[in-house]
Every structure is written in C-alpha cells, then in structure tokens.
Structure 1
Amino acid sequence: MKIKQILNNNAAIVIDEQEEKIAIGAGVGFGKQKNDIVISSRVEKLFVLKENEKLQQLLLRIPEEHFTISEEIITYTEKRLGTELSEHIRVQLADHISFAIEREQSGIKLKNKLLQEIKILYREEFEIGLWAIQHIKEKFQITMPADEAAFIALYIHTMKLQGGDIHETVKQTTIIQDMVQTIKKYLNIEVHEADISYERLVTHLQFALSRAKWYESHVMDNEMFEMIKKKYTYSFQCAQKVAQEIYASYQIELPEEELGYITLHIERLRTH
C-alpha cells in the first residue's frame, strides 16, 4: 500500500487494492511522504475512507496523542470484554476523550447526573472507565473524577452494540433515573446507592423498559398479581405513579403485570 496523505505520525490515507483507506499504527506516517510504501506489519487498523470520512476529519482536528490514548482505551476494552467493538462509534469516543482532556486542562469539571445508575447498570464498563481515567492520568498528569469514568462507560456500552446509539443509551438511563426519583419522592426516603435492594430495582427497571420497547412482559398469573396489589397496596400505588409519569413524559406504557414485579422491588426497598 502507498501513502496518499499523511494525517499524523501514526495515521495516513493510503491506496490499498485500488481503494483509499485510513491506516493506523505506530509510526505509519512518521518521516513518510506521498507515494512512500507502508509496511503492512506496521498497520494495526485499516478503514475504508469513504465509510470513515469523519475519522479523517477527526485525525486532522484533535491532537494526535488524544487519538492514540483513545485507541489504547479501545484496545484494553476489547481485551477485557473479549469482543470487538463497533467501529461506528470510535470517532465519538476519541472526540469525547479529547474534549474531556481539554476541559480538565481548562479547569472545567462536568457532573454526571447519571453516575449512580451507570455504576449499577454498566458495572464492567464503569470499571473500564475507571481504568481509562487512571491511564489518562499516567499519560497526561490529569486527574479526572469518577463522573468522567461514567461518561466513558456509556460510550463503551454503546460500542458493544453493533451500530448502537449513544443518545439512546443516555435516554434509557435518564428514564431509569426519573423512575427512581419518582419512587424516592413517593416513598419519601433516601436510598443508599450501595444497597442491594436499590441495585436490584435499578436493574429490573432497565429490563422492564427493554421489554416495554419490544412489547414483552413478565408472565404473572392473575391470582398472584391480585395478591400483590392487596398485600403491598402502598408500593403498588407507587408503581402506578411511576408508570403514569413515564407514559406522560416518554409515551412508554408498562403493562400491569410488569407493575406487579416493580411493586415487589419497591416493597423490598421500602422495608429493608
């Protein structure tokens, strides 16, 4: 493959099999000129240019070291999860990390309002996020808060889904947070995020939303459902309130059977 354009020391546009591609690898563009030959063994990743024009734009826009550390985070993540991540979102992750580094260098710190929910819903991704901010600290002597680890976790979770949408991931997590806030307000209680009952509730709400999206529900026989309604009246009313509010805000309808299961989780949270 021959070089057509140098993007930075570690990236170049090349002609490979009569097709323009972006070649990424240590030293791929270092000391090179147009029409120089690139040794294939140096190329770690190869992308078809017409499908990755945003990647080309990104490589020209952000500091090279920001893109490099993003790739290192992706490589670590793929090894940790044992799966290849979607290419569709690596540009967004690199862009986000570059912006986050610039923010920290400017003394601007953003709070992640979904921090507690992310820690529970995407536990392994959050642990990777913690590794990522430690890696950034070692490379750039920049200390980032756990809030940033949670932001990175959302991107990683989305990258696990082929063609996933970061906005959809954020939306679902926000809905879950709204549901939890409704429960806490209705019950007038403060909940410790490390409480196992809280974790079970949040996890169940995630699955409940997924089932509602695909018009699926837990099968609960009518006799059991009626017993739950009578025995845990207050918690069931709370579950109804949750259903009413997410329907009003997001037009998501939870079936009554699902409310029975949510009631059990609310009752456990209320009494433990």
Structure 2
Amino acid sequence: MKIKKVLNNNTVVVEEDGIERICMGSGIGFNKRKGDVILRSDAEKIFVMADENERFQELLKTLPVSHVEVAEEIISYAERTLNVPLNTHIHIALTDHLSFAIERLQKGLVIENKLLNEIKTLYRKEYEIGLWAKELIQERLNVTIPDDEIGYIAIHIHTAKEQTNSMESTMKQAAIVKEMIEIIESHLNSSVSYESVSYQRLIAHIRFALQALETGDPLHTLDAEMHELIKTKYSDSYRCAIKIKNHLKEEYDLVFPESELAYISLHIQNMFNAK
C-alpha cells in the first residue's frame, strides 16, 4: 500500500486498488512520506470512510492526538466486547463528541443528559462500555467524565452498530420511554425505582413494542377473555395504559393495539404492587 498522505505519527492515508483507505497503527506515519510503501501488517486498523474521508482527515489534523487515540481505543474495545463491526462513521462522531466533551469539562461546563436512566436500561451493554471508557479517559487524560457523558458514549456506540437505527431514532426511543415513565409516575403519584425488577421488565417490553411498531413486526397477541379480565381486575393500571396510548398517538402518531395495553397494564400493576 502506497502512502498518499501522512496525517500524524499514527495515521496515514493510503491508496490501494484505486481506493483511499485510512490506516492506523502505533508509529505507522513516523518519518514516512507520500509515496512510501507500508505493509498491511503494519496497520492495526484499516478502513474506508467513503464520502467522509476528507472530514475525518481534517478532524485528525485539528484535534489533540491524545483525544483521537483514546476514542480509537474505545471503538476497538466496543467492537471486541459487542463482537460486531461498528459503522465507520463512529470514527468521526465519537471522536468529535469526546474531544468536545473533554474541552467542556476542562472549562467546568457540564451538559445534563436527561435521558440517562433510560439509556442505562435500554442500552446496558453499551453503557458498560462507557464505564470502561470513563476509566480509560481518567487514566490517559486525567479527566473525570460524569455519568451524563457515559450515557452519550453509549448512544454513539449503539447507533454505530451495523443494522441499527440512526442517532435520531435511538434518542427518540429513549425519549418516548422517559415520557411513558413520567405518565406512570404521575398516575401512581410516586417515583419509580429505576433499579427495580418491575421497571426493568417494563422497559424491556416497551423497547420490544416500539421496535415492532417501527419495523412493522407483529406484536404480542392476547385472547379477548384474558384481555377483559386484565382490564377489569386491574382497572386503574389499565386507565394509566390508556393515558400512555393517547400520548403516543398524539405526540408520535404511534398506535398501540388493545392487546398491548393489557400487557403494559400488567407491568404497571407490578409497579403498584412494589410500592
């Protein structure tokens, strides 16, 4: 592979078979010039950014090398942990976000993540990767990131998973969950324990239902007799489920079928019982 451009000591742009590729590796660009040849074995990472090559190259020139290296370690760790390739756009999105967040924190500016509890529950594996990233950032950069930033890292990783929805869709799902919980808390006139089993089960069910509605997949079915029994026996919880249904229709044009209201009512009832 012939070097087309040296971005820094650890990153070069090469051309192979008429395609530009980004190569990363410790010292891969040190004392190298345009036209020099490097071996594939010299690179720890090789990827094609397609239409975003120029933006990524500009990013690497302007951001501190230490920030880029930490971001790349987080990306590599995430791919190993999740055992899936991440969309190459994460090399721009996460690196840019992380560097900006570090700069803000060093200036004493903290941005609140109002969806943190929902993110922790919906994207648990990604949040755990964020916890690992927090330790790495502390060790390498001597910067302590708050839990709010861990949540943002988790979102970036989740949306970069192949076949996963966009960042907008991911944040929308978390926002919907938050609003549903707020309706339940208002109806119960009590706060919900985010660590409770009943909360975890409700969130898992809501996530499945929202994904099914978005993709058009079938939802759970329930026979009429069982539905009527739940509606009658747990009437207060069912009224709460109707509030949720109306909210989703009004705000997001999402329509939950009647059988889904029964399932949500059962989960709400479990929260009543846990009070």
TM-score bucket (shorter structure): over 0.9
* Further displaced range: 159-168 or 123-132: 159-168
Cα distance between partner residues in 2 of 1:163 and 1:220: 29
Count of aligned positions: 272
Q: How does 1:148-167 map to 2 (within 5 A)?
A: 148-162=149-163, 164-167=165-168
The change in CA–CA distance for 1:28 and 1:109 in structure 2 (over 3 A counts) is same
Q: 1:243 is matched with which residue?
A: 245
Deviation at 1:46, TM superposition (A): 2.1
Q: 1:144 is matched with which residue?
A: 145
Q: Which amino acid aligns with 1:14?
A: V
Q: 2:48 is matched with which residue?
A: 48
Deviation at 1:7, TM superposition (A): 1.1
Q: TM-score, normalised by structure 1?
A: 0.95
Q: 2:86 is matched with which residue?
A: 85
Q: Which amino acid aligns with 1:86?
A: N
Q: How does 1:149-228 map to 2 (within 5 A)?
A: 149-162=150-163, 164-215=165-216, 216-228=218-230
Q: How does 1:92-103 map to 2 (within 5 A)?
A: 92-103=93-104
Q: Show CA shifts across 1:178-236 (max 9, x none).
A: 11111111221111211111111122111111122234221100110011101011100
SS of residue matched to 1:87: coil
Indicate conservation of the 8 Å contact 1:232/1:267, yes or no.
yes
* Further displaced range: 222-231 or 88-97: 88-97
Cα distance between partner residues in 2 of 1:203 and 1:197: 10
Q: 1:109 is matched with which residue?
A: 110
Q: TM-score, normalised by structure 2?
A: 0.94
Cα distance between partner residues in 2 of 1:156 and 1:49: 17
Q: 1:33 is matched with which residue?
A: 33
Deviation at 1:43, TM superposition (A): 1.2
Q: 1:8 is matched with which residue?
A: 8
Indicate conservation of the 8 Å contact 1:22/1:47, yes or no.
yes
Identity within the alignment, %: 44
Deviation at 1:101, TM superposition (A): 1.1
Deviation at 1:49, TM superposition (A): 5.4
* Further displaced range: 238-247 or 103-112: 103-112
The change in CA–CA distance for 1:105 and 1:24 in structure 2 (over 3 A counts) is same
- Unmatched tracts of structure 1, length 5 or more: none
The change in CA–CA distance for 1:129 and 1:11 in structure 2 (over 3 A counts) is same
Indicate conservation of the 8 Å contact 2:13/2:20, yes or no.
yes
Indicate conservation of the 8 Å contact 2:48/2:88, yes or no.
no
SS of residue matched to 2:14: strand
* Further displaced range: 63-72 or 236-245: 63-72
* Further displaced range: 158-167 or 237-246: 158-167
Cα distance between partner residues in 1 of 2:232 and 2:266: 12
Cα distance between partner residues in 2 of 1:193 and 1:50: 41
